[in-house]
Amino acid sequence: MHKFIVRAAFALALSMAGASCGSGSSTQKGPPPPTASPDERADYLVGQMTIDEKIQLVHGGAALDWWNYTLPRGAGGWIPGIPRLNIPDLYFADGSVGVGNAVGPATALPSSIASAASWDLNEAAKYGQVIGTELSDYGINVNLGGNVNMTGREPRDGRTFETKGEDPILAGRITAAHLKAIQAQYVLAGIKHFAFNDQETGRATANVQIDDRSGRESDLLGFEIGVNDSGVQSVMCSYNLTNDVYDCENAYLLNTVLKGDWAFPGFVMSDWDATHSTVNAAVNGLDQEQPENIYFGTSLEQAVESGQVPESRLDDMVHRILRAMFANGLFDHPATIQPIDVTGDAAIAQEMEEQGAVLLKNTGVLPLNAAQVESIAVIGSHADIAVLSGGGSAQVDPVGGPALIEGKPNPPGWSQVIWDPSSPLNAIQAKTSASVQYNDGTDATKAATLAASSSVAIVFVSQWASEGMDLPSLNFTDVIHTPPIDQDALVSAVAAANPNTIVVMENGGPQVLPWLSSVSAVLEAWYPGQNGGQAIANILFGDVNPSGKLPMTFPASMNDLPRPVIATPPDQTTPFPVDYTIDGFNVGYKWYDSKGLTPLFPFGFGLSYTTFSISNPQLTANVSGSSSSFQVSFNLQNTGTRTGAEVAQVYLGLPPATGEAKRLVGWQKVSLTAGQQQSETIQVNATDSSHPLSYWDTNSHAWLVPSGTYTVYLGNSSRNLTTVGTFQVP
């Protein structure tokens, strides 16, 4: 929740006062049957409603100083229903990594970025299912999840852990899989923060400068795929400005792109206190102010009565909200409040972590041999009791309560440092009869002494991140303790003392690793969720073979970022430019390709305990203008000695005149037993919602398949590819 805005304490006014001047209350026909379309059912209700009732649905029902209150069901937002029309209450709650707000204890899933790192839409669906069922079990019928911001533009963004990485196709599809699964539980899902909300620093006044084509092919494409592939019915507009206009009153974003070009039939709600006007916001596409009624209460009613906002526009706003509720089953399938499935959902959380953790380095020390290892030093990051989680509105209150809370609550209840109750130490000890000892890592010398007397040292390093902040650097920077713990120095000291040093990282996004060459193995565990300790131990000992692939580039240095220094606001109120013309549509790996920069770890990279070979790739192209397609067929073999999964990735180089080196266009995650081989085919259609063969042509306002030579690549990371072939589009 956005709790930084200090505002005069007005009394709560729900704008319910005033005489009814509703339209259509004399309608004779009865309500359409449940089999009627959401639009027909919404139309009927709009026709029955008074203007006061309509106004009631277009703003949140929270008090102006809402952060001091708990809303019904612990929700983060709430709109009272209209009993005479059987319109149910709306209960909104966050849920990017599990149920958020003060709703109640819930399964803390691994970060969304881990879900993206699985590159597995079925796993992503299970992830969404946990969020959807647990929300529904708490009686919450609207989810504020679906964060698809392209934090690859700014990997220091404190919310990177909520997002799905730097590639619009991967991010869009993973998000859509989450959202569809949430909707399957009759919860109205949402996608956010629309759009270009890729840094937290000055997020309410950041004024992103970007051209139409660059936007369409990057941040907006992630949203377009997410919206299209899931049929999601609510979009949250963001705090920032785009090209000098606040996003929640931005006609280009809301009316031209979202409701026009994408024909989005649902509604746009503001981020919490991101509404800036009444008439402007209403006519430029905002349908619902959250969480209260500064602009869309009495002011909107007056604007409608005076004709500044046509009543037809108010009807459209209400229609969109109601049709979304019908489409997601909120009328026909009200939630049943019941206990969450603690055990089943914890198992999914663990599976997600096991599929999403990424092995970045391994000289052969992993997997550990439980029977042979003699002694293990486990060091740092409270690995004796807990794993770290990300903060802000996505924060989950983990089942069983936090193992530990650190940091100054600011304000109380928000942005605390929550450690989820899952002990890597215990899970490691349970695997082996070796002696396992713990050192808290606060004193590098003592940690190194323990490491020196152990056969293996496992150092847990952690980087807390949260909504409301960006990271000061991409090094493991301690933003929790005073004085800070120098984790880079800790790893170096341990590595100098023990040649078998393994680093396990608990963090939300890309990091730089100055000690990389001195350690034997590195596992990217992200924020691993409440069964993280068990999942990490399973990977370290080889009960699970890692198969995650990076959904974001890890740069070699912050100097390689498009904006080495984060743009910062001059004050609290003045819009300040954030220049996206620097990277344009070349976000993430496309940036590194365009600049010829070698990343520390490339997008799509991840190791396994087995080896794979990709052979005999064949390209078949069907060139036919905007309905062109192509297929890549190949043989994938597990050439190692244990079962494992590989993600075969297809990239496409569009004709060079487009200015983009290559883009991900398809992938397949395949699990194979030792020695097994399989024929695989990846099909790419120009008509797909990801527009894989097209660039956005601003002049004709359309996606075009350009003429020229297309080059098709196949491999297992964006930097380990072979050319399969080329085809021409005349």
Catalytic residues: 271
Q: Which of 271, 289, 420, 506 binds ligand BGC (CB under 6 A)?
A: 271
Q: Residue 2 Cβ, how far from ligand BGC at the closest point, in Å?
A: 3
Q: Which is nearer to ligand BGC, 158 or 715 (CB)?
A: 158
Establish if 1 lies at the interface with ligand BGC (CB under 6 A): yes
CA 397 to chain CA mean position, Å: 19
Q: Residue 162 Cβ, how far from ligand BGC at the closest point, in Å?
A: 8
Please state whether beta strands 375-379 and 435-439 pair in parallel, antiparallel, or not at all (unpaired): parallel
Q: Which is nearer to ligand BGC, 66 or 589 (CB)?
A: 66
3-state SS, one letter per residue, for 298-336: HHHHHHHHCCCCCHHHHHHHHHHHHHHHHHCCCCCCCCC
Q: How far apart are CA 123 and CA 105, in angstroms?
A: 23
Neighbours of 472 (CB within 10 A): 10
Q: Residue 415 Cβ, how far from ligand BGC at the closest point, in Å?
A: 11
Are residues 547 and 669 in contact, defined by beta-carbon separation less than 8 angstroms? yes
Dihedral (Cα; 489, 492, 497, 500), 10-degree rounding: 140
Q: Which is nearer to ligand BGC, 82 or 179 (CB)?
A: 179
Give the type of residue at 146. Answer: G
Q: Which is nearer to ligand BGC, 1 or 254 (CB)?
A: 1
Q: Residue 581 Cβ, how far from ligand BGC at the closest point, in Å?
A: 25
Q: Which of 89, 94, 198, 200 binds ligand BGC (CB under 6 A)?
A: 94
Q: Which is nearer to ligand BGC, 76 or 546 (CB)?
A: 76
Q: Residue 69 Cβ, how far from ligand BGC at the closest point, in Å?
A: 14
Establish if 59 lies at the interface with ligand BGC (CB under 6 A): no
Establish if 2 lies at the interface with ligand BGC (CB under 6 A): yes
Closest among 163, 164, 8, 66 to 414, alpha carbons compared: 66
Q: How far apart are CA 508 and CA 6, in angstroms?
A: 29
Establish if 272 lies at the interface with ligand BGC (CB under 6 A): yes
456 backbone φψ class: left, alpha, beta (φ>0; ψ -120 to 50) = beta
Residues in 139-168 at the binding interface with ligand BGC, rule: CB under 6 A? 144
Establish if 592 lies at the interface with ligand BGC (CB under 6 A): no
Establish if 76 lies at the interface with ligand BGC (CB under 6 A): yes
Q: Residue 293 Cβ, how far from ligand BGC at the closest point, in Å?
A: 16
Q: How far apart are CA 34 and CA 560, in angstroms?
A: 56
Q: Which is nearer to ligand BGC, 247 or 345 (CB)?
A: 247
**If binding means CB under 6 A, how many residues of this protein chain bind ligand BGC?**
9
Neighbours of 607 (CB within 10 A): 21
Establish if 276 lies at the interface with ligand BGC (CB under 6 A): no
Q: Which is nearer to ligand BGC, 250 or 350 (CB)?
A: 250
Sheet-wide strand order for 267-270: 190-194, 234-237, 267-270
Q: Residue 725 Cβ, how far from ligand BGC at the closest point, in Å?
A: 44
Closest among 251, 532, 500 to 362, alpha carbons compared: 500
Establish if 287 lies at the interface with ligand BGC (CB under 6 A): no
Establish if 610 lies at the interface with ligand BGC (CB under 6 A): no
521 backbone φψ class: left, alpha, beta (φ>0; ψ -120 to 50) = beta
Dihedral (CA of 276, 281, 282, 285) sign: negative
Q: Which of 192, 276, 319, 669 binds ligand BGC (CB under 6 A)?
A: 192
Residues near ligand BGC, by CB under 6 A: 1-2, 76, 94, 144, 192, 271-272, 393
